[in-house]
Structure 1
């Protein structure tokens, strides 16, 4: 079977912000954009030229339909999206400015996605020609039913031999349903997965192992590679199925000045990417999703070159910082132009 399609699964959100750098308590006008981690990955892949299908559940309302139309206009296959429920999940984003940190407030209770249940999605049909299936910790964080639907998808993808990709995406403010146990749930998800992405803070939370400090203010910072190697080896012992781990690291020098790098642990080898100095950050949302979208595309571009997979993923993530909104709209050509060696 010639598998080529990538499938991502998660909740599409409507993002609200005030214009410019107004706080959420200021002004009388909101701007809106669609986003959400797994949708961000889907758009990134489509922009790079991949065949990608996005799975979610949206309300059958003009707002829900507009979200699907937005993704379709960007090249994502939305034909398998389910419609039902009452409302789309939303979040409110207050951008950083000077010493003021960014703020995010979620409003996702009783969304169409939160009511998703096992048996609603025909996973065997959707995954029959799928090469990669991507989910994140958020897919199981919204409700008990959504968590059960996520594990149904993981079980079927596993049974069908699909490569399963995972982003930790731990959001402590989302795990609010009765009996929610994020560390246990995400650890069970990881037991199904073949490749994983997360930032250093999420790796530390998952493993309960303190991270080596990343305090780069420019590209000359020296990484503590011995300590990182020990950390990754320890994680692999905990989750032996995972053969490929990618970690993104960001240091926020100021609201507009970030440094960014990444590590890739692959079958016992630890690779590091250059440190990218980003002096004029436009929008920091979705950088981890850009990492993931870059990595999945780079697997096709450079199947035998792990270092280029890492460098390409980092370049995709660095470019996302220059683009307003959740989506990374960088093409393969633009990302290749940004790759540093």
Structure 2
């Protein structure tokens, strides 16, 4: 058996009011499933890749519900382990409509997912994968998860897997110094590094023209590709030779911003693993655009035909390779939300 991409992280129980209701006066809450690494795995599965998610869940009806949902979406869950606690990480959200922002409230302290240890991971199974993806949320939720993240990238490098890491820094979970230390430990074992402008400035004191920031990140940390997400302005990637820029927005109404960044990572990784950095930007941009239109899920429940139709339409500029500081334009931006979190 072979796996294209393995992700390691925490699954969350997501609770939200119906439609665009507010948490303050909600009488009923919808139940969804979330988690950054999980969102990426689902997105890649929807595009036809074989994926697996490794995490820890409580052995409760809620844990079984989440496991069955993940499995039903086509992600391999055979190496999910059961935790000693009955607690599941919870994410309360409300969808905002301009000018009212969306809101996310997290309660994941002491969750089963935060117990995940390197001893829980079936490393022989990981060997079967082509690529490993983890985000900065996983090492932030506990010391054990920090150690597991470091071990995962060491293992992946030893056995020839390509790797990606989405910085996804949350100041409510850990200090910037801890995130910087983690990235320093794993950076030379990461092939694709995703981060945004705020993270580049806060963690590495890097400001300036986005292409140059991406170039500096790539050269400083020795990654194959640095992808700098620019919010409404799109994204920039530097692959050691060329700078590519995502800028053009797809027309459409934004109904749900949650998970758009994960959708971008999934699309980028699909394009990157199938072809190139520029292909990654095209697919990542289209994937994020389609995710923004989905109100009832936080993961990219996108079909391949939808994606290819959008990429091939005249709504996107065709990508062509340019040299050094020149750029290629395409894509979409994806703004965030107000967040509140219980510090671990």
Query: TM-score per shorter chain, which class?
Result: 0.7 to 0.9
The one of 206, 209, 217 aligned to 2:206: 209
The one of 177, 184, 188 aligned to 1:187: 184
Task: Give the equivalent residue in structure 1 for 2:331.
Answer: none
The one of 274, 298, 318 aligned to 2:289: 318
Q: TM-score, normalised by structure 2?
A: 0.85
Shift in Å, 1:29: 1.2
Work out whether residues 44 and 266 of structure 2, in 8 Å CA contact, stay in contact via their aligned partners in 1.
yes
Task: Give the equivalent residue in structure 2 for 1:118.
Answer: 118
Task: Give the equivalent residue in structure 1 for 2:210.
Answer: 228
Work out whether residues 215 and 226 of structure 2, in 8 Å CA contact, stay in contact via their aligned partners in 1.
no
Structure-2 change in CA distance of 1:56 and 1:49 (3 Å): same
Whole-Å separation in 1 of the counterparts to 2:110 and 2:121: 19
Task: Give the equivalent residue in structure 1 for 2:305.
Answer: 333
Whole-Å separation in 1 of the counterparts to 2:173 and 2:230: 23
Work out whether residues 3 and 52 of structure 2, in 8 Å CA contact, stay in contact via their aligned partners in 1.
no
Q: How many residues align?
A: 311
Work out whether residues 198 and 248 of structure 1, in 8 Å CA contact, stay in contact via their aligned partners in 2.
yes
Task: Give the equivalent residue in structure 2 for 1:261.
Answer: 234
Whole-Å separation in 2 of the counterparts to 1:307 and 1:27: 44
Shift in Å, 1:183: 2.3
Task: Give the equivalent residue in structure 2 for 1:282.
Answer: 255
Work out whether residues 198 and 288 of structure 1, in 8 Å CA contact, stay in contact via their aligned partners in 2.
no
Mapping for residues 152-163 of structure 1, pairs under 5 Å: 152-163=151-162
Shift in Å, 1:209: 1.9
Shift in Å, 1:180: 7.7
Shift in Å, 1:317: 1.1
Task: Give the equivalent residue in structure 1 for 2:337.
Answer: none
Whole-Å separation in 2 of the counterparts to 1:51 and 1:150: 21
CA shift digits 1:4-38 (9 cap, x unpaired): 52100100001111122222111211112001100
Shift in Å, 1:121: 1.5
Shift in Å, 1:298: 1.2
Whole-Å separation in 2 of the counterparts to 1:192 and 1:180: 20
Task: Give the equivalent residue in structure 2 for 1:13.
Answer: 12
Work out whether residues 214 and 227 of structure 2, in 8 Å CA contact, stay in contact via their aligned partners in 1.
no
The gaps in structure 1 that reach 5 residues or longer are 212-226, 252-259
Instruction: Determine if the alignment matches structure 1 residue 93 to structure 2 residue 93.
Output: yes
Work out whether residues 5 and 51 of structure 1, in 8 Å CA contact, stay in contact via their aligned partners in 2.
yes
Q: Secondary structure at the match of 2:170?
A: coil
Structure-2 change in CA distance of 1:286 and 1:209 (3 Å): same
CA shift digits 1:245-298 (9 cap, x unpaired): 1222223xxxxxxxx522221122101234114441011011111111112211
Task: Give the equivalent residue in structure 2 for 1:54.
Answer: 53
Whole-Å separation in 1 of the counterparts to 2:18 and 2:2: 43
Task: Give the equivalent residue in structure 1 for 2:334.
Answer: none
Q: Secondary structure at the match of 1:64?
A: helix
Whole-Å separation in 2 of the counterparts to 1:279 and 1:250: 16
Structure-2 change in CA distance of 1:99 and 1:122 (3 Å): same
Q: Secondary structure at the match of 2:285?
A: helix
Higher helix share: 2
Q: Which moved more, 1:91-100 or 1:281-290?
A: 91-100
Shift in Å, 1:310: 1.3
Whole-Å separation in 2 of the counterparts to 1:180 and 1:238: 17
Task: Give the equivalent residue in structure 1 for 2:148.
Answer: 149
Q: TM-score, normalised by structure 1?
A: 0.86
